[in-house]
């Protein structure tokens, strides 16, 4: 984290998708770590409520709120510049926006698939591309993308959601390989099951469920330690390692 000496301006974190779940929990965590915050999400009322709770905790000033739909791609460059003008600087950009529509095992519905891909992948590329260009020019900065264990291998459940997360994981790795030589840190976060509205909408089958606050604590620590990839909780790393190395002729028979 950038120094928070009284002689220096406190660092600024931009959280895209901050109205609930991991994004909201991370707003509280980073505020406690001394960051000033710019919070973005589509639901303005929920976003304002998060900002009020962060301000009430007294760790930092009230976050600035920017209502925004991440699928409004054309608005992103101008909005990024507005945030820079309002905050004076940006040190961390987190993409936490996500959509998950339940999909039956025999269902193929583009009306459900499209918003998942547009929000989970295209919105991330649009936002993190802006962050990458800015940080490369600055010669420092942190990019954080909330991917998922779902992106580690194609499974029978919800192909479009998994494809979006797989694409995001690959995109973040590409950014890391491109930007590390410019002093920019890129973190890929792969949560398992987190107790969020998205998980509740997905239905049953969840295990090792953690709170958004635990995920946020893991992410904040990973930013400080400049880690490249984390699973949260960490034991998912070993589960996904086994899944990644299961032969295809066996894996396709599983109902995971």
Query: Is 136 in contact with 228 (CB distance < 8 Å)?
Result: no
134 classed as catalytic: no
E-strand spans in the chain? 12-16, 36-41, 64-67, 92-95, 141-146, 184-191, 229-232
> Helix or strand or coil: residue 104?
coil
Q: Which of 35, 95, 161, 231 is catalytic?
A: 161
d(CA 113, CA 144): 24
From 73, 222, 75, select the one nearest 146 (Cα to Cα): 222
Specify the DSSP class assigned to residue 181: G
What the block records as the tokens of 90 is: 């940006």
What the block records as the tokens of 18 is: 């901050």
Query: Is 33 in contact with 220 (CB distance < 8 Å)?
Result: yes
Query: Is 145 in contact with 128 (CB distance < 8 Å)?
Result: yes
User: Looking at the annotation, which residues are catalytic?
Assistant: 161
């Amino acid at each position: 984290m950038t120094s928070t000496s009284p002689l220096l301006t406190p660092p600024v974190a931009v959280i895209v998708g901050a109205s609930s779940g991991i994004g909201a929990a991370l707003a509280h965590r980073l505020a406690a770590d001394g960051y000033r915050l710019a919070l973005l999400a589509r639901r303005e009322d929920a976003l304002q409520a998060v900002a009020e709770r962060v301000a009430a905790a007294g760790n930092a000033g009230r976050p600035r709120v920017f209502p925004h739909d991440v699928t409004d791609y054309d608005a992103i460059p101008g909005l990024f510049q507005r945030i820079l003008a309002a905050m004076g600087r940006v040190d961390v950009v987190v993409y936490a926006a996500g959509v998950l529509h339940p999909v039956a095992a025999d269902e193929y519905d583009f009306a459900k698939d499209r918003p998942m891909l547009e929000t989970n992948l295209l919105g991330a590329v649009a936002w993190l591309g802006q962050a990458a260009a800015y940080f490369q020019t600055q010669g420092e900065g942190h990019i954080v993308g909330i991917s998922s264990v779902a992106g580690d291998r194609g499974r029978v459940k919800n192909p479009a959601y998994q494809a979006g997360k797989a694409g995001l994981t690959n995109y973040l790795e590409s950014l890391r390989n491109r930007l590390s030589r410019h002093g920019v840190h890129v973190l890929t976060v792969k949560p398992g099951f987190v107790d969020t509205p998205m998980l509740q909408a997905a239905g049953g089958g969840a295990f090792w469920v953690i709170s958004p606050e635990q995920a946020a604590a893991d992410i904040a620590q990973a930013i400080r330690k400049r880690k490249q990839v984390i699973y949260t909780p960490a034991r998912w790393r070993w589960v996904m390692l086994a899944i990644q190395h299961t032969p295809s002729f066996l894996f396709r028979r599983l109902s995971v």
